[in-house]
Amino acid sequence: MSEPTPPGGPSPEELARRVAASSGIHRSEDGQVDVLKTVGGVRGLLESLLPGLVFLVVFTATQALNPALIGSLVVAAVFTAVRLAQRTPVTQALAGLVGVAICALVSRSTGEAKDYYVVGFYTNAAYGLAMGLSVALRWPLMGLVFGFVRGEGVEWRKDRLRLRAYALATWILVGMFAFRLAVQLPLYYADQVGALGAARLVMGVPLYAMALWIAWSVSRPVAADGRPERPAR
């Protein structure tokens, strides 16, 4: 039996469905999480990495803030324009452009290149806190996402072992966000812009992909014989 729908609001199942749909997480035919497809394929990977890479390279080479900011904005804008011209979904590219624009605005307002990375600290802290809170409320966020991708809906909440598995999966993502902050904040306060930029690139999509794969693996359903369940055909 599903949980009652709150008066005037969506049911827990509907909320979970919306969270899963917005996550963009995909499963491959062998039952593993399709990490590359989840981050938008090769194009999505480039859209995530290149603006920050251009900012870092240009600033390191010139020690001039404005050219570095302009370079990162141009790259993000080009990705968005290409998607518009090809009439492909622009959500990821547009979100990237807005994110780069906010980072550039913050950095330009302070005149400090290191402040290009400040917004990322707040987003990592916010995501980490939200995920930790979801575990405390017994609605671990990765359970909401993985549960619908796997066809479990929210029925997993009735199984103590499944709930524990999805709590662990969520804590893995929380650990990723905490690890980013633990490494990058000292570099920020030490004014190590080059090292901070490099850390942000390495600990961005690549680290997220690894954490997502581990979270998916540790929360995979187990059949009665102790073997991981195969996906339904």
Summary count for the chain: helices (H), strands (E) = 10, 0
Calpha distance 18→148 (Å, rounded) = 10
Answer yes or no: is pLDDT of 202 > 90. yes
Q: What is the average per-residue pLDDT within 165-190?
A: 97
Answer yes or no: is pLDDT of 114 > 80. yes
* Beta carbons within 10 angstroms of residue 126's beta carbon: 11
Please report the DSSP string for 105-170 in residue order: HHHHHHT-GGGGGHHHHHHHHHHHHHHHHHHHTT--HHHHHHHHHTT-TTGGGGSHHHHHHHHHHH
Phi and psi at 33, nearest 5°, equal: -75, 135
Report pLDDT digits (tens) over 66-88. 999 999 999 999 998 988 888 87
- pTM of the predicted structure, to 2 decimals: 0.84
Q: How much is the pLDDT for 232?
A: 44
Mean pLDDT of the chain: 86
At a CB cut-off of 8 Å and minimum separation 6, what does 40 contact? 24, 47, 48, 92
Report pLDDT digits (tens) over 125-141. 999 999 999 999 999 99
Q: How confident is the model at residue 148 (pLDDT cuts 50, 70, 90)?
A: confident
> Of residues 39 and 192, which shows the higher confidence score?
192
* Residue 156 contacts residue 143 (beta carbons within 8 Å): yes
Q: How much is the pLDDT for 194?
A: 95
Q: How much is the pLDDT for 229?
A: 55
Answer yes or no: is pLDDT of 30 > 90. no
At a CB cut-off of 8 Å and minimum separation 6, what does 205 contact? 39, 45, 48, 49
Q: What is the average per-residue pLDDT within 104-115?
A: 96
Q: How much is the pLDDT for 1?
A: 42
Q: How much is the pLDDT for 228?
A: 54
Q: How much is the pLDDT for 173?
A: 97
Q: How much is the pLDDT for 8?
A: 57
